[in-house]
Protein backbone atom coordinates (compact mmCIF):
# COMPACT_ATOMS: atom_id res chain seq x y z
CA UNK A 1 0.00 0.00 0.00
CA UNK A 2 1.16 3.47 -0.77
CA UNK A 3 1.10 5.95 2.06
CA UNK A 4 1.00 9.71 2.06
CA UNK A 5 2.46 11.71 4.89
CA UNK A 6 -0.27 14.32 4.89
CA UNK A 7 -3.32 12.30 3.85
CA UNK A 8 -5.60 10.52 6.29
CA UNK A 9 -8.65 8.41 5.49
CA UNK A 10 -11.50 8.10 7.95
CA UNK A 11 -15.08 6.98 8.32
CA UNK A 12 -17.28 10.11 8.24
CA UNK A 13 -17.73 9.92 12.02
CA UNK A 14 -14.01 9.62 12.69
CA UNK A 15 -13.21 12.38 10.24
CA UNK A 16 -15.27 14.78 12.35
CA UNK A 17 -13.62 13.51 15.55
CA UNK A 18 -10.12 13.88 14.14
CA UNK A 19 -10.78 17.29 12.60
CA UNK A 20 -12.18 18.61 15.89
CA UNK A 21 -9.18 17.26 17.76
CA UNK A 22 -6.73 18.90 15.34
CA UNK A 23 -8.59 22.24 15.31
CA UNK A 24 -8.63 22.26 19.12
CA UNK A 25 -4.88 21.52 19.23
CA UNK A 26 -4.16 24.36 16.81
CA UNK A 27 -6.43 26.68 18.76
CA UNK A 28 -4.46 25.97 21.94
CA UNK A 29 -1.09 26.32 20.20
CA UNK A 30 -1.78 29.63 18.49
CA UNK A 31 -3.67 31.10 21.44
CA UNK A 32 -0.60 30.40 23.57
CA UNK A 33 1.93 31.59 20.97
CA UNK A 34 0.13 34.59 19.53
CA UNK A 35 -2.78 35.37 21.83
CA UNK A 36 -5.17 34.85 18.90
CA UNK A 37 -6.35 32.05 16.62
CA UNK A 38 -7.34 33.03 13.09
CA UNK A 39 -9.54 30.58 11.19
CA UNK A 40 -10.83 30.93 7.63
CA UNK A 41 -13.96 28.91 6.83
CA UNK A 42 -15.27 27.59 3.51
CA UNK A 43 -18.83 26.55 2.80
CA UNK A 44 -20.23 23.17 1.84
CA UNK A 45 -20.22 20.05 3.96
CA UNK A 46 -17.11 21.22 5.82
CA UNK A 47 -19.24 23.02 8.39
CA UNK A 48 -21.00 19.87 9.52
CA UNK A 49 -17.62 18.22 10.17
CA UNK A 50 -16.85 21.01 12.61
CA UNK A 51 -19.88 20.34 14.77
CA UNK A 52 -17.99 18.23 17.31
CA UNK A 53 -16.34 21.47 18.42
CA UNK A 54 -19.69 22.61 19.80
CA UNK A 55 -19.79 19.66 22.23
CA UNK A 56 -17.79 18.48 25.19
CA UNK A 57 -14.84 18.51 25.74
CA UNK A 58 -14.04 21.18 23.16
CA UNK A 59 -16.89 23.54 23.96
CA UNK A 60 -15.39 24.06 27.42
CA UNK A 61 -11.67 23.70 26.72
CA UNK A 62 -11.28 25.95 23.68
CA UNK A 63 -10.70 29.62 24.50
CA UNK A 64 -13.30 30.95 22.07
CA UNK A 65 -12.56 34.54 23.06
CA UNK A 66 -9.29 34.23 21.10
CA UNK A 67 -10.90 33.03 17.88
CA UNK A 68 -11.08 35.31 14.85
CA UNK A 69 -13.22 33.88 12.06
CA UNK A 70 -13.06 34.71 8.35
CA UNK A 71 -14.54 33.41 5.11
CA UNK A 72 -12.44 31.83 2.37
CA UNK A 73 -15.28 32.53 -0.03
CA UNK A 74 -18.84 33.79 -0.01
CA UNK A 75 -21.74 33.78 -2.40
CA UNK A 76 -23.12 37.23 -3.25
CA UNK A 77 -26.45 36.83 -1.48
CA UNK A 78 -27.88 38.43 1.66
CA UNK A 79 -26.42 37.03 4.88
CA UNK A 80 -29.77 35.54 5.87
CA UNK A 81 -30.17 33.70 2.55
CA UNK A 82 -29.97 29.91 2.62
CA UNK A 83 -27.15 30.09 0.05
CA UNK A 84 -24.95 32.23 2.29
CA UNK A 85 -21.75 30.63 3.58
CA UNK A 86 -21.97 32.97 6.57
CA UNK A 87 -25.45 31.67 7.41
CA UNK A 88 -24.34 28.07 6.99
CA UNK A 89 -21.44 28.53 9.41
CA UNK A 90 -23.41 30.68 11.83
CA UNK A 91 -26.40 28.33 12.07
CA UNK A 92 -24.32 25.15 12.20
CA UNK A 93 -21.45 26.19 14.41
CA UNK A 94 -20.64 29.80 15.26
CA UNK A 95 -23.91 30.67 16.99
CA UNK A 96 -23.34 27.77 19.40
CA UNK A 97 -19.96 28.92 20.72
CA UNK A 98 -19.01 32.13 22.57
CA UNK A 99 -16.85 33.82 19.94
CA UNK A 100 -16.99 37.60 20.44
CA UNK A 101 -19.23 39.00 17.67
CA UNK A 102 -16.55 41.55 16.74
CA UNK A 103 -14.18 38.66 15.97
CA UNK A 104 -16.51 37.25 13.30
CA UNK A 105 -15.49 38.96 10.07
CA UNK A 106 -18.27 38.27 7.60
CA UNK A 107 -18.21 39.77 4.12
CA UNK A 108 -20.39 42.90 3.89
CA UNK A 109 -23.58 42.03 2.01
CA UNK A 110 -24.79 45.64 1.85
CA UNK A 111 -22.10 46.87 -0.56
CA UNK A 112 -21.74 46.31 -4.30
CA UNK A 113 -19.80 43.01 -4.40
CA UNK A 114 -16.59 44.30 -6.01
CA UNK A 115 -16.51 46.97 -3.29
CA UNK A 116 -17.22 44.34 -0.62
CA UNK A 117 -14.23 42.33 -1.84
CA UNK A 118 -11.99 45.42 -1.60
CA UNK A 119 -13.32 46.24 1.86
CA UNK A 120 -12.64 42.67 3.01
CA UNK A 121 -9.08 42.92 1.72
CA UNK A 122 -8.69 46.23 3.58
CA UNK A 123 -9.94 44.52 6.74
CA UNK A 124 -7.32 41.81 6.30
CA UNK A 125 -4.60 44.44 5.80
CA UNK A 126 -5.66 46.24 8.98
CA UNK A 127 -5.60 42.99 10.97
CA UNK A 128 -2.19 42.06 9.56
CA UNK A 129 -0.85 45.47 10.58
CA UNK A 130 -2.25 45.06 14.09
CA UNK A 131 -0.89 41.50 14.21
CA UNK A 132 -4.25 39.88 14.87
CA UNK A 133 -3.52 37.95 11.67
CA UNK A 134 0.12 36.82 11.41
CA UNK A 135 2.26 37.80 8.41
CA UNK A 136 4.08 35.51 6.00
CA UNK A 137 7.67 36.26 4.98
CA UNK A 138 6.39 37.99 1.86
CA UNK A 139 3.91 40.18 3.70
CA UNK A 140 0.72 38.21 3.10
CA UNK A 141 -1.87 37.34 5.74
CA UNK A 142 -0.84 34.08 7.37
CA UNK A 143 -3.98 32.45 8.71
CA UNK A 144 -3.37 30.01 11.53
CA UNK A 145 -5.88 27.62 9.97
CA UNK A 146 -7.53 27.67 6.55
CA UNK A 147 -10.34 25.13 6.20
CA UNK A 148 -11.04 24.15 2.61
CA UNK A 149 -13.47 21.83 0.88
CA UNK A 150 -13.14 20.67 -2.72
CA UNK A 151 -15.78 20.29 -5.41
CA UNK A 152 -15.96 17.26 -7.75
CA UNK A 153 -14.35 19.49 -10.43
CA UNK A 154 -11.36 20.12 -8.14
CA UNK A 155 -12.33 23.68 -7.22
CA UNK A 156 -11.39 25.14 -3.86
CA UNK A 157 -12.68 28.42 -2.43
CA UNK A 158 -14.44 29.98 -5.47
CA UNK A 159 -11.44 29.23 -7.69
CA UNK A 160 -12.74 27.13 -10.55
CA UNK A 161 -11.04 25.11 -13.33
CA UNK A 162 -9.83 27.29 -16.19
CA UNK A 163 -10.78 30.55 -14.49
CA UNK A 164 -8.36 33.52 -14.79
CA UNK A 165 -8.52 34.02 -11.01
CA UNK A 166 -6.43 30.87 -10.61
CA UNK A 167 -3.45 33.03 -11.58
CA UNK A 168 -4.34 36.16 -9.63
CA UNK A 169 -1.19 37.33 -7.87
CA UNK A 170 -2.02 40.88 -6.76
CA UNK A 171 -5.40 40.82 -5.06
CA UNK A 172 -5.90 39.00 -1.78
CA UNK A 173 -9.67 38.96 -2.19
CA UNK A 174 -11.55 39.08 -5.48
CA UNK A 175 -15.07 39.34 -6.80
CA UNK A 176 -16.12 37.11 -9.71
CA UNK A 177 -19.40 37.15 -11.60
CA UNK A 178 -18.89 34.07 -13.78
CA UNK A 179 -18.69 31.13 -11.41
CA UNK A 180 -19.66 27.94 -13.25
CA UNK A 181 -21.39 26.84 -10.04
CA UNK A 182 -24.47 28.73 -8.89
CA UNK A 183 -24.70 31.43 -7.80
CA UNK A 184 -22.40 33.05 -10.40
CA UNK A 185 -21.47 36.06 -8.24
CA UNK A 186 -18.97 35.29 -5.51
CA UNK A 187 -16.16 36.76 -3.44
CA UNK A 188 -13.08 34.64 -2.82
CA UNK A 189 -9.60 34.52 -1.35
CA UNK A 190 -6.92 34.05 -4.00
CA UNK A 191 -4.15 31.44 -4.02
CA UNK A 192 -1.47 33.77 -2.62
CA UNK A 193 -3.57 34.11 0.55
CA UNK A 194 -4.49 30.43 0.74
CA UNK A 195 -0.85 29.41 0.34
CA UNK A 196 0.45 31.87 2.93
CA UNK A 197 -1.44 29.95 5.65
CA UNK A 198 0.23 28.18 8.57
CA UNK A 199 -2.13 25.23 8.27
CA UNK A 200 -4.49 24.19 5.50
CA UNK A 201 -7.04 21.46 6.18
CA UNK A 202 -8.52 19.99 3.01
CA UNK A 203 -11.73 18.21 3.96
CA UNK A 204 -13.10 16.04 1.16
CA UNK A 205 -15.83 13.43 1.42
CA UNK A 206 -17.93 11.31 -0.91
CA UNK A 207 -17.19 9.03 -3.87
CA UNK A 208 -18.14 11.87 -6.22
CA UNK A 209 -14.79 13.47 -5.35
CA UNK A 210 -12.69 10.33 -5.79
CA UNK A 211 -11.55 11.09 -9.35
CA UNK A 212 -10.43 14.62 -8.46
CA UNK A 213 -8.68 13.29 -5.34
CA UNK A 214 -6.91 10.67 -7.45
CA UNK A 215 -5.90 13.26 -10.04
CA UNK A 216 -4.57 15.60 -7.39
CA UNK A 217 -2.66 13.07 -5.32
CA UNK A 218 -1.68 10.20 -7.54
CA UNK A 219 -2.12 10.70 -11.26
CA UNK A 220 1.36 11.01 -12.79
CA UNK A 221 0.32 11.30 -16.41
CA UNK A 222 -2.32 13.99 -16.21
CA UNK A 223 -2.56 16.74 -18.74
CA UNK A 224 -4.65 19.19 -16.74
CA UNK A 225 -3.96 20.72 -13.37
CA UNK A 226 -6.92 21.02 -11.02
CA UNK A 227 -7.34 24.15 -8.87
CA UNK A 228 -6.82 22.04 -5.74
CA UNK A 229 -3.33 21.17 -6.95
CA UNK A 230 -2.33 24.81 -6.55
CA UNK A 231 -2.87 24.50 -2.80
CA UNK A 232 0.67 24.35 -1.48
CA UNK A 233 1.40 26.37 1.66
CA UNK A 234 4.97 27.62 1.24
CA UNK A 235 5.69 28.01 4.93
CA UNK A 236 2.91 25.90 6.37
CA UNK A 237 1.34 22.46 6.44
CA UNK A 238 -1.34 20.91 4.27
CA UNK A 239 -3.34 17.99 5.58
CA UNK A 240 -6.02 16.09 3.66
CA UNK A 241 -8.97 14.64 5.58
CA UNK A 242 -10.68 12.10 3.31
CA UNK A 243 -13.52 9.71 3.91
CA UNK A 244 -13.44 6.24 2.38
CA UNK A 245 -15.53 7.33 -0.61
CA UNK A 246 -13.26 10.22 -1.54
CA UNK A 247 -10.19 7.98 -1.10
CA UNK A 248 -11.64 5.04 -3.02
CA UNK A 249 -9.40 5.47 -6.08
CA UNK A 250 -6.20 5.86 -4.05
CA UNK A 251 -3.76 3.29 -2.74
CA UNK A 252 -4.29 0.89 -5.67
CA UNK A 253 -1.14 -0.59 -7.18
C1 LIG B 1 -19.94 26.74 -3.01
C2 LIG B 1 -19.59 25.58 -2.13
C3 LIG B 1 -18.42 24.79 -2.68
C4 LIG B 1 -18.05 23.68 -1.74
C5 LIG B 1 -17.37 22.56 -2.46
C6 LIG B 1 -17.33 21.32 -1.60
O7 LIG B 1 -19.59 27.85 -2.66
O8 LIG B 1 -20.57 26.50 -4.04
O9 LIG B 1 -19.32 26.04 -0.84
O10 LIG B 1 -17.32 25.60 -3.00
O11 LIG B 1 -17.24 24.11 -0.68
O12 LIG B 1 -18.06 22.29 -3.63
O13 LIG B 1 -18.60 21.14 -1.07
P14 LIG B 1 -19.11 19.83 -0.37
O15 LIG B 1 -18.08 19.51 0.67
O16 LIG B 1 -20.44 20.17 0.19
O17 LIG B 1 -19.17 18.80 -1.44
Task: State the complex-level ipTM.
Answer: 0.93
- Side-by-side strand order, sheet with 67-71: 7-10, 237-243, 199-204, 145-148, 37-41, 67-71
Q: Which of 86, 161, 156 is nearest to 120 (CA)?
A: 86
Q: 171-200: per-residue pLDDT in tens?
A: 999 999 999 999 999 999 999 999 999 999
Name the residue with the closest Cα to ligand 1, atom 11: 44
Name the residue with the closest Cα to ligand 1, atom 13: 44
Radius of gyration of the chain (CA): 17
Name the residue with the closest Cα to ligand 1, atom 8: 181
Q: Say yes or no: CB of residue 42 within 6 Å of ligand 1.
A: yes
Name the residue with the closest Cα to ligand 1, atom 15: 45
Question: Could you tell me which CATH class the domain 22-145+158-205 is placed in?
Answer: alpha beta
Q: Say yes or no: CB of residue 179 within 6 Å of ligand 1.
A: no
Closest atom, ligand 1, to C-alpha of 179:
8
Q: Report which secondary-structure segment, H or E, holds 204.
A: strand 199-204
Please report, rounded to a whole number, the percentage of residues in the chain having pLDDT higher than 70: 98
Q: What is the mean pLDDT of the chain?
A: 95
Q: Say yes or no: CB of residue 181 within 6 Å of ligand 1.
A: yes
Cβ atoms 176, 163 nearer than 8 A: yes
Given a cut of 80, whether residue 223 has pLDDT beyond it is: no
Asked, as a colleague might, if the bond just before 5 is cis with ω within 30 of 0, I would say no
Asked, as a colleague might, if the bond just before 173 is cis with ω within 30 of 0, I would say no
pTM: 0.96
Q: Say yes or no: CB of residue 245 within 6 Å of ligand 1.
A: no
Domain ranges of the chain: 22-145+158-205
Cα 131 to middle of ligand 1, angstroms: 30
Amino acid sequence: EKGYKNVEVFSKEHLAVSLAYDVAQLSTKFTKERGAFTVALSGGSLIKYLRKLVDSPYAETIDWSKWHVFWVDERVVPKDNLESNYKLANDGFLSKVPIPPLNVYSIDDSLPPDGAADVYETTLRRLVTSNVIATSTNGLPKFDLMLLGMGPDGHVASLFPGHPLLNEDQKWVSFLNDSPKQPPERITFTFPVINASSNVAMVVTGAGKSTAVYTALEDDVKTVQLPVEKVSPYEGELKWYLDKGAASKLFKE
